[in-house]
Structure 1
Amino acid sequence: MAYNETRVTVAGIVASKVVRTVVGTGYSRAAFRVHTRERRFDRDREEWFDGSTMFLMVTCWRDLADNVHACLDKGDPVLVHGKLRIRETAENGVTSQHIDIEATAVGPNLVACTARPSRTRDAPAVVAPREEDEHALSPPLVAPGAVPAPRAAEPAPKEVPAISH
């Protein structure tokens, strides 16, 4: 991470087709626009209303680009996390600023949709520890020079009687 780098997370809707290209270095790049709209609750009227709206360009690289292109379509609810970039363009003597996100993570927004993850060939499977194994992951806290107390023996599993029909 760079010094004074601005990281953002945006919840929105894919507002354009996801376009994937291969750049001169051989890396994949995917780009799409994301639309986000602020929603506010007016307590006096007891109703929600739309606030500011914003469109941002999102750029993804390498495996993220390939996966975004394969999984997302216009209209999909997404969460985008990445580096905020300000890009300036000059046209007919007028300079304009555009806000872009160079994404490091993109995923479906599960508030508005469901998803079933499917690992890519390079992504390792991560197995969450069982709750009862949690104590085995961290060493017990012991003062320097002290002898750690032995762990209590775990109770033997209870036998379940066979059920006959």
Structure 2
Amino acid sequence: MFETPITIVGNIVNDPQGRRVGDQEVIKFRVASNSRRRTADGNWEPGNSLFVTVNCWGKLVTGVGAALRKGDPVIVVGHVYTSEYDDRDGNRRSNLEMRATSVGPDLARSIVRIIEKTPSLRDDGPTADESAEEAVVDAEEEKPMPLSA
């Protein structure tokens, strides 16, 4: 079976929803990727839209669930496929879905701050028992680290 890799740049259109499938967790959300094109008079007009249901498994569940919400600009990398199902009336339907391998904020359209899951290795860093929230240090408070010879 061939897997089709794809990168989608767009916005999340619903809050990510988590659920359990067997002994694993999955978090799903929809992304809209909207194109625009320049008209002959120099104005911009909306183009086509692509809507994809994104499925996140494994380590992505924690990061996506904690960080992303409806409306956030994202870049999603993964493999795309068509999911088929029967609706309530018995009609055969299909939906474009993606199994994400990477999900992140689009830094061209947002400003974010990274919070590490593991403690920093700096000398003045927190101990392993301290939470990630306590490990956050404002950029103004950080001191440059000298380069060692």
> For this structure pair, what is the TM-score category when the shorter chain's length is used for normalisation?
0.7 to 0.9
Structure 2 Cα separation of the partners of residues 30 and 89 of structure 1: 19
Structure 1 counterpart of 2:16, one-letter code: V
- Classify the secondary structure of the residue corresponding to 2:59: helix
After the TM superposition, which residues 47-86 of structure 1 pair with which residues of structure 2 at under 5 Å, given as runs?
A: 47-86=43-82
Q: What is the Cα deviation at residue 111 of structure 1?
A: 1.3
Counterpart secondary structure, 1:67: helix
Superimposed CA distance per residue, residues 42-79 of structure 1 (whole angstroms, 9 cap, x where no aligned partner) = 2x211111111122111101210111000001110001
Range moving further from structure 2, 50-59 or 65-74: 50-59
SS at structure 2 position matched to 1:70 = helix
Q: CA deviation at 1:93?
A: 4.1
Matched with 2:33 is 36
Distance (Å, rounded) in 1 between the aligned partners of 2:35 and 2:91: 29
Q: Deviations over 1:61-110 (max 9, x none)?
A: 12101110000011100011101010111233422211001100000011
TM normalised by structure 2 equals: 0.73
Structure with more strand by fraction:
2
Alignment of 1:82-121 (within 5 A): 82-91=78-87, 92-121=89-118
Please state how far the C-alpha of 1:7 moved relative to its aligned partner. Answer: 0.6
What is the deviation of 1:21? 2.1
Runs of 4+ in 1 over 3 A off after TM superposition: none
Give ranges in structure 2 of 5+ residues lacking alignment: 122-149
CA contact (8 A) 1:35 1:53 kept: yes
Amino acid at match of 2:57: W
SS in 2 for 1:45: coil
Identity of aligned residues (%): 31
**Within 2, Cα distance between the matches of 1:12 and 1:79?**
7
Q: 1:13 aligns with which of 11, 14, 23?
A: 11
Give me the whole-angstrom Cα distance separating, in 1, the residues matched to 2:94 and 2:63: 29
Deviation, structure 1 residue 24: 2.0
**What RMSD, in angstroms, separates the aligned Cα atoms of the two structures?**
2.0
Q: Tell me the SS of whatever aligns to 1:68.
A: helix
- 8 Å Cα contact 1:13-1:75 kept in structure 2: yes
